[in-house]
Amino acid sequence: MSGIVLSSSVRQNLLSLQSTADLLATTQNRLSTGKSVNSALDNPTNFFTAQSLDNRASDINNLLDGIANGVQVLQAANTGITSLQKLIDSAKSIANQALQTTVGYSTKSNVSATISGATAADLRGTTWFASATASSNVVFSGAAGGTTAASGTTTLGATIGTFTGTAGTAGDGTTALTGAITLIATNGTTATGLASNAQPADGDTLTVNGKTITFRSGSAPASTGVASGSGVSGNLVTDGSGNSTVYLGTAGTPAATVSDLLTAVDLASGVKTASITAGAATLATSFNQTASSVGGGAVTLKSSTGADLSVTGKADLLKSLGLSTSVGGGNATVSVNRTTSSGSLGAT
């Protein structure tokens, strides 16, 4: 078989066709990728420049996505603020309506009364009701047998309890106890103060019917220096509810006396009351009550008509006052019970 012989013109045409096919392939590749330069072989400079621009465009698109997300967050926050504003407007509207609404009632009168010596356990207090009547046949007086009807003069409480201690002396052992004897002194053997083991110290307390009497050294404060609601009277500061502080003074200048202590006991039991104005307390014995006292060297304790009396404190102090036979730094208790009589409804 003889070989194929191509003329120069045919060979030129074949080369042209081959070149055309290459151009078609390049064009088709560009159309499919959308890029005029698809590899570094086509145009190294343009290829790497285009690749850098593509990367930058991608970064910008990512930033745009972040900005879009931020815009959505701001829109959500704006929606929340708008809702809160609506709630505030609604609350303001309700408040304005409430201010404009006429009150549905008006005060006709104010009635108040103070019951002297009243406590949480006994609201009858120490008041004697002169105008009270007892007309029901099921209300009886405290007369023996329990069948005597109460009369219009029968008191609602019981008969005052009385306890008179044994005669006591001052620290010298011979001077009779009086209301003027001070609770402390320069020493424990003077004729003007209690014996040394009986003298109360700063911070000691007595408990009387659940109320507290606290002993403090030094002088009582001025009326401007007491706590709000409290009042000062002599060597005593009372809160008006039965709790008191007794200021002892100093060993060189004693202040509080036996009478001051008995006054504090009476305030706690309700036998006495305190009227407080601008830090000053005015003390008074409640109606139909009898204050505790000292006479003939002996202390006499009185209960109120509304409650029995219970005094708990340092045994040595109570013994020095003739109220107890117990001794020592521990506590002792003195009780004064009310009695039942035909003139009262009885102790309850």
Output the 3-class SS for the chain.
CCCCCCCHHHHHHHHHHHHHHHHHHHHHHHHHHCCCCCCCCCCHHHHHHHHHHHHHHHHHHHHHHHHHHHHHHHHHHHHHHHHHHHHHHHHHHHHHHHHHCCCCCCCCCCCCCCCCCCCCCCCCCCCCCCCCCCCCCCCECCCCCCCCECCCCCECCCECCEEECCCCECCCCCCECCCCCECCCCCCCCCCECCHHHCCCCCCEEEECCEEEEEECECCCCHHHCCCCCEEECCEEECCCCCEEEECECCCCECCEHHHHHHHHHHHHCCEEEEEECCEEEEEECCCCCCCEEECCEEEEECCCCCCEEEEEEHHHHHHCCCCCCCCCCEEEEEECCECCCCECCCC
- Strands 244-247 and 211-216, sheet pairing: parallel
Does a structural domain hold residue 344?
A: no
Least confident of 62-76, 85-99, 112-126: 112-126
Please give the pLDDT value at position 276: 94
Please give the pLDDT value at position 339: 82
Share of the chain above pLDDT 70, in %: 77
Average pLDDT of 162-166?
Answer: 95
Q: Is the pLDDT of residue 47 over 50?
A: yes
Residue-wise pLDDT tens digits, 197-219: 999 999 999 999 999 999 999 99
DSSP state, 289?
-
Q: Is the pLDDT of residue 251 over 80?
A: yes
**SS3 for 26?**
helix
Average pLDDT of 68-90?
Answer: 93
Please give the pLDDT value at position 340: 75
How wide is the angle at C-alpha 260 spanned by C-alphas 257 and 265, nearest 5°? 130
Does a structural domain hold residue 1?
A: no
Residue that wins the pLDDT comparison between 343 and 24: 24
Average pLDDT of 124-128?
Answer: 54
Closest Cα partner for 280 from 248, 237, 245?
237
Average pLDDT of 30-42?
Answer: 68
Rounded Cα gap, residues 160 and 340, in angstroms: 9
Please give the pLDDT value at position 163: 95
Residue-wise pLDDT tens digits, 276-323: 999 999 999 998 899 999 999 999 999 998 889 999 999 999 999 999
Does a structural domain hold residue 112?
A: no
Please give the pLDDT value at position 129: 44
Average pLDDT of 261-279?
Answer: 94
Please give the pLDDT value at position 132: 44
Does a structural domain hold residue 42?
A: no
Q: What is the mean pLDDT of the chain?
A: 83
Does a structural domain hold residue 272?
A: yes
Share of the chain above pLDDT 90, in %: 55
Q: Is the pLDDT of residue 144 over 70?
A: no
Does a structural domain hold residue 318?
A: yes
Average pLDDT of 24-30?
Answer: 74
Average pLDDT of 123-148?
Answer: 52
At residue 85 the predicted structure's pLDDT band, cuts being 50, 70 and 90, is: very high
Does a structural domain hold residue 61?
A: no
Does a structural domain hold residue 64?
A: no
Q: Is the pLDDT of residue 256 over 50?
A: yes
Average pLDDT of 128-140?
Answer: 47
Number of domains in the chain: 1
Range of the domain at 236: 163-336
